[in-house]
Amino acid sequence: MIGHKNPDVDSVAAAIAYAHFKNHSQPHRYVAAAAGTLNHESEYVLERLQLERPLELNSVGTVAEDLLDGKNLITTRADADLMSLGRMMRQMDIKTVPVVDEGGKFLGLVTIGDMAMLFLEHLGEGTHINNTPEVLRRLLALRVGDIMKSQDLMLFEKDDSIDEVRRSMLGSRYRNYPVVGDQHRFLGMISRYSLLAMRRKQLILVDHNESKQAVDGIEEAEILEIIDHHRVGDLQTMSPIYFYNQPVGSTCTLVAEHFFNAGVPLPRSHASLLLAGIMTDTMLFKSPTTQPKDRSLAAKLEDLCGLQGLEWGKTILEKGARFDEQDELQMVTSDLKEYQQDSLLFAIAQVEILELNQLHHRRQAFRQVMEGLCQSRGYDFMCVMVTAILEECTELIIAGPQAALLEDAYNSQAVEGVITLTGVMSRKKQVVPVIIQHIRQKHMV
């Protein structure tokens, strides 16, 4: 289970809670993850509720470790004799055996070809028939460490990309390739057949369904389900999937709905977690994305966990607002989403605060960082929504070579790079649609 890049409370809470929901019927199969580092709000919520942190993943692309077949490892030790090794290879019907130490660290390989060549060299021309038994005894008494190959071997680290594995295999003649993990620990063998039988990582996406917002490597993964409350994006799947998308204020609302509809027990900690996602993503019910379903599900969650939603949400927002600990780049990129419309690439970030005066003195520092991001990432323009929840308004800080498009979209002149938008709270309902519609109309002219 994984949410979007720059994970917020809603995406983290939805992933953790939906994993709990799915594990009710299929225990231990589903694992919650986050597409990057958790923000301060999520850190606070998980610590307060004493819940386990999700895995933090930067990529779900296929790597060498994913090619392993999961079978029991067959290995030998360097001090084993060749008689024992030969017996094991016959019984197991294998032609290559990895050699490891007592801690499982990879030392080398022994192949049936190595053993055959050894016997041919010692029992070939020049060996008298009467001496054959003695030669055989000496050979069979040799240790694996005496004949194993430990130099010039081609092996893969567990995190080597599938492209790197493929290139290396095509440029070599070996039958099998060892894969090692941390501290050179042996993990298993892969072959060319492993590429054909490759297992893709299986994902359930929450709180997003656009490739630009998804964890890196999403194109190599298999998407099983999507639970979301945003516009339909551009992700494609290999087969039909369960796609639950509703126009509500929070993905946690939809996850809570699954619990109640299915009658799955919801622990107090997870009810509190889902309530946190609803309250933060609806901005204490002040966001225009808020729907009656958000309020009704939040009320049910309040009954289960004993928390007051508005107070709980305000506490989370206050605890997460550690602006003095963050520089402008951290603040701009902590909740940034990229969009592609026609030929334009742009980004919209959002910083939620209680009152606008908390960040007035940092406006120009934001703009400087934003201009740098536009240049380094190729954005045609970007904006940062500084949204004051209690005042119910947003200051839109704009930057980039085509920033004037934003002034046209809102029919408002920016003052020192800032457009004030009274009553605007929602990125996905009041900012993204306005910008996209303006781009479409402009390109139609």
Instruction: Write the DSSP assignment of 263-313 as a string of letters.
Output: T----HHHHHHHHHHHHHHTTTTTSTT--HHHHHHHHHHHHHH---HHHHH
Q: Are residues 330 and 313 in the same domain?
A: no
Q: Are residues 259 and 381 in the same domain?
A: no
Which residue, 320, 337, 361, sits at the end of a domain? 320
Q: Are residues 373 and 406 in the same domain?
A: yes
Instruction: Specify the CATH number for the domain of residue 336.
Output: 3.10.310.20
Which residue, 320, 338, 367, sits at the end of a domain? 320
Neighbours of 74 (CB within 10 A): 14
Neighbours of 240 (CB within 10 A): 6
Q: Are residues 69 and 28 in the same domain?
A: no
CA distance 70 to 49: 35
What amino acid occupies position 293? K
Positions of the chain with pLDDT lower than 70, given as ranges:
123-132, 135, 444-445
CA distance 230 to 281: 12
Q: Are residues 266 and 168 in the same domain?
A: no
| Cβ 332 vs Cβ 384: under 8 Å | yes
Per-residue model confidence as pLDDT tens digits over 362-371: 899 999 999 9
Instruction: Specify the CATH number for the domain of residue 6.
Output: 3.90.1640.10
Q: What is the pTM of this model?
A: 0.71
Q: Are residues 10 and 48 in the same domain?
A: yes
Residue 158: CB partners within 8 Å, gap ≥ 6? 63, 64, 65, 179, 180, 181, 182, 187
pLDDT at 127: 55
Which residue, 195, 226, 259, sits at the end of a domain? 195
Q: Return the closest-CA partner of residue 343 out of 373, 383, 376, 378.
A: 378
Q: Are residues 308 and 331 in the same domain?
A: no
pLDDT at 121: 72
Residue 381: CB partners within 8 Å, gap ≥ 6? 344, 346, 374, 398, 399, 400, 401, 402, 403, 405, 406
Give alpha helix (H) positions in 24-129: 40-49, 82-92, 112-123
Strand order in the sheet with 186-191: 156-157, 176-180, 186-191
Q: Are residues 343 and 297 in the same domain?
A: no
pLDDT at 238: 86
Q: Return the closest-CA partner of residue 365 out of 331, 400, 338, 314.
A: 331
Per-residue model confidence as pLDDT tens digits over 215-224: 999 998 999 9
Instruction: Specify the CATH number for the domain of residue 185.
Output: 3.10.580.10
| Cβ 398 vs Cβ 419: under 8 Å | yes
| Cβ 176 vs Cβ 184: under 8 Å | no
The total number of residues shown for the chain amounts to 445
The count of structural domains within the chain is 3
Q: Are residues 311 and 422 in the same domain?
A: no
Domain that holds residue 129: 65-195
